[in-house]
Structure 1
Amino acid sequence: MSTPAPLRRGWTTGACATAATRAALLRLWGGDWPETVSITLPRGERPVFAVAHRAEGPGWAEAGIVKDAGDDPDVTHGALIVARVREAAGGVSFRAGEGVGMVTKPGLPVPPGEPAINPVPRAMMEEAVAEIAADLARAPDVEITISVPGGAALAERTWNPRLGIKGGISILGTTGIVRPFSCAAWIASIHRGVDVARAAGLYHVAGCTGATSERVVQALHGLPDHAMLDMGDFAGGLLKYLAKHPVPRVTIGGGIGKITKLAQGAVDLHSARSQVDFAALATLSGVAEVAGANTALEAARLAPDLGQRVAEAALARLSERFGIAADGSPIAFDVVVIDRGGAVLGRAA
């Protein structure tokens, strides 16, 4: 049997924006348009990017890089990341062009009223400007406008609307590298969701495993959109962050299979990384036939009160492991278990 080829890495929007900035600035300050540009990433790697878009006018130049996310299913894969540069007094400043969002809520790494360009990409672009300015004996005084054609539509498939980022995507990245299926972006979005909820003074948030459980939980508790954290399979990513950045009340909602795993001690709920222990479910339910079930839903049909028992077991596990935050403050959990159609099988608080 042949060994599968390794998954291909990609580059973050921040890395692409930096490469585009470098290409545009080289042209603005009198050079020829480069075919490719190389940038230095935070850990010292120097990837090369092909310049896919070029334009210029009086006092400005812009370049674009097509984002290659490698083999990661990134929503911005294939997007054109454009940087327009022009000289402007006062150091390096940033503007949001078409398809790049503006921050409207506190709690994010950049304050309200600023373009959604995160600190590391900003630092990478500032370093690129400083390097070229030193080479060409120029003052490093540049206004950089980042645009992503179609970015507003892409943003609807991200957390940005809930995080209060309006009008487009964010320019992200801490290393410049997208690692396939690392899930780092999803977990980072969960963390930013907690940050925004805390900054807004929310007392109650909810982490749900999917759209159906989210709809049910939001209706049960009347929570605003920015209280809903798209936890997915990453219960650990949410719970461990809450332990250090607590919110007083947290609802966890999901299908009986996912919540059973949580009740049995798993915090990564993906089917490839955790499984339901049906023998333990049989003990929990008191129905021996449950041990031979193929799915948690089948087990629930065999033991009609199993959803409630799972909710109570999950609540006990959550309260024991995460009920006291690192600063000593309590976190009150409640659990909602549903079936595939959204019917509530169990609730515990």
Structure 2
Amino acid sequence: MSEEMPPGPLRYGWTTGACAAAAAKAAYAALLTGDFPDPVTITLPRGETPAFALARHELFADHATATIVKDAGDDPDVTHGALVSSTVRRGAPGSGVTYKAGEGVGTVTKPGLPLPVGEPAINPGPRAQIAAAIAEVATRHGAPGDVEVTVSIADGEAIARKTLNGRLGIVGGLSVLGTTGIVVPFSCSAWIHSIHRGIDVARAQGLQHIAGATGSASEAAVAKLYGLEEAALIDMGDFVGGMLKYVRVHPVPRVTIAGGFAKITKLGQGLLDLHSRAGPVDLRWLAERVEELGGAREVADAVAQANTAIEALEIAGAAGLDLPPLVARYARETAVKVLRDSEVALDIAIFGRDGNLLAR
């Protein structure tokens, strides 16, 4: 799916947690009455009442299964179009709602996540939504509401390879996510959520040094530079602000921000979202840095007229000016402002496309 934002108003979607809750409600209603409500309506935490059409449904003597196609709206969500199923079985009296991971839903294997090790990766938000949907059906039909809910996602294990689940210690499939039940297009909430969970896992393992990288090349380079293990590597992407704000509240002793020259230039300019939609590299800002280094006016003018940040770097280098260390210093100043008075040691590492260190 394209990650370019389409023109015009964007369509909101529904989280896997909301889909699982709606499927559970339909399945439990069928288990009690013999009929599946289709479409099935649930109430989300903020009061919205979306209706979900059932893609499949099966009723047996001791359990029922309902399946919903995940619609993420206009968000480039890897789970858009996935089949989310909930199977409901009657539970022991007084057991309440219990949860199991079906095919395509992962299991937690590392501490630091909001669920204990060994639990199915159905997050607290979706669990609350499922429990509320079950309670609504139980109240309507005078049933106890003691059920076992198994959530499955078709091809979830394959889809999970496109996510950070493995690094976070979630094995066997996807996490069932969603605090509000709503997917806001291009909010990148799932990515930021994974950044936060990555930091949580690193802290739970007692790691003293983590690194957030803008891409795979800089991640490999910073891991080699400092000898960092995988759990210390945070796939920050463009969301340096999201990472640093979380670290400020959930500190680790040392943080490195790693990236290529263009991305770190944006951070030096003062941007905390390094995606192109948030703003381009300001070549005039780089020209000012050339002058700050004592470069001639004609060199600064050439940098200001460059096509890319890399070309600007090459122009400065040909004039004998070492631009990356100054850019790294400005980037660190931007990042330190986010961390404010926290006791987190922070450094910036700029790498070339070949993985060589340009500045630290």
The TM tier, using the shorter chain, reads over 0.9
Structure 2 residue 326 is matched with structure 1 residue 313: no
The C-alpha deviation readout for 1:289-327, integer Å capped at 9, x for no partner, is 3232221111111122212322233234434552632xx
Q: Which residue of 2 aligns with 1:125?
A: 130
Write the letter of the residue equivalent to 1:303. A
Per the TM alignment, residue 4 of structure 1 is displaced from its structure 2 partner at its CA by: 4.9
Q: State the secondary structure of the residue aligned to 1:84.
A: strand
Per the TM alignment, residue 52 of structure 1 is displaced from its structure 2 partner at its CA by: 0.7
Instruction: Judge conservation of contact 2:87–2:150 (CA < 8 Å) in 1.
Output: yes
Q: Which residue of 2 aligns with 1:324?
A: 341
Between the aligned partners of 2:66 and 2:217, the Cα distance in structure 1 is: 42
The C-alpha deviation readout for 1:24-65, integer Å capped at 9, x for no partner, is 111111231333101111111111101111123331111110
Between the aligned partners of 2:179 and 2:38, the Cα distance in structure 1 is: 26
Q: Which residue of 1 aligns with 2:38?
A: 35
Q: Which residue of 2 aligns with 1:208?
A: 213
Between the aligned partners of 2:7 and 2:357, the Cα distance in structure 1 is: 42
Between the aligned partners of 1:116 and 1:37, the Cα distance in structure 2 is: 24
Q: Which residue of 1 aligns with 2:50?
A: 47
Instruction: Judge conservation of contact 1:234–1:269 (CA < 8 Å) in 2.
Output: yes
Per the TM alignment, residue 118 of structure 1 is displaced from its structure 2 partner at its CA by: 0.9
Between the aligned partners of 1:228 and 1:28, the Cα distance in structure 2 is: 46
Per the TM alignment, residue 66 of structure 1 is displaced from its structure 2 partner at its CA by: 0.6
Q: Of the candidates 233, 238, 247, which is equivalent to residue 242 of structure 1?
A: 247
Instruction: Judge conservation of contact 2:244–2:338 (CA < 8 Å) in 1.
Output: no
Instruction: Judge conservation of contact 1:101–1:169 (CA < 8 Å) in 2.
Output: yes
Q: State the secondary structure of the residue aligned to 2:281.
A: coil
Q: Which residue of 2 aligns with 1:292?
A: 305
Q: Per the alignment, do residues 138 and 269 of structure 1 end up closer, same or farther by CA in structure 2, a change over 3 Å counting?
A: same
Q: State the secondary structure of the residue aligned to 2:176.
A: coil
Write the letter of the residue equivalent to 2:358. L
Q: Which residue of 2 aligns with 1:342?
A: 355
Kindly report structure 1 stretches of 4+ aligned residues shifted beyond 3 Å: none
Written as runs of structure 1 = structure 2, the 5 A alignment for 1:51-200 is 51-89=54-92, 90-200=95-205
Per the TM alignment, residue 276 of structure 1 is displaced from its structure 2 partner at its CA by: 2.5
Q: 31-40 or 124-133: which moved more? A: 31-40
Instruction: Judge conservation of contact 1:299–1:306 (CA < 8 Å) in 2.
Output: no
Between the aligned partners of 1:268 and 1:196, the Cα distance in structure 2 is: 23
Instruction: Judge conservation of contact 1:319–1:332 (CA < 8 Å) in 2.
Output: no
Instruction: Judge conservation of contact 1:104–1:164 (CA < 8 Å) in 2.
Output: yes
Question: Could you tell me the TM-score, scaled by structure 1's length?
Answer: 0.93
Q: State the secondary structure of the residue aligned to 2:49.
A: coil
Q: State the secondary structure of the residue aligned to 1:313.
A: helix
Q: How many residues align?
A: 341
Per the TM alignment, residue 84 of structure 1 is displaced from its structure 2 partner at its CA by: 0.6
Write the letter of the residue equivalent to 2:230. D
Between the aligned partners of 1:250 and 1:219, the Cα distance in structure 2 is: 15
Question: Could you tell me the TM-score, scaled by structure 2's length?
Answer: 0.91
Q: Per the alignment, do residues 28 and 295 of structure 1 end up closer, same or farther by CA in structure 2, a change over 3 Å counting?
A: same
Instruction: Judge conservation of contact 2:34–2:59 (CA < 8 Å) in 1.
Output: no
Report percent identity of matched pairs.
Answer: 57
Q: Which residue of 1 aligns with 2:3?
A: none
Q: Per the alignment, do residues 61 and 320 of structure 1 end up closer, same or farther by CA in structure 2, a change over 3 Å counting?
A: closer
Per the TM alignment, residue 279 of structure 1 is displaced from its structure 2 partner at its CA by: 2.8
Between the aligned partners of 1:323 and 1:194, the Cα distance in structure 2 is: 18
Instruction: Judge conservation of contact 1:99–1:149 (CA < 8 Å) in 2.
Output: yes
Q: 5+ residue gaps in structure 1?
A: none
Instruction: Judge conservation of contact 2:167–2:230 (CA < 8 Å) in 1.
Output: yes
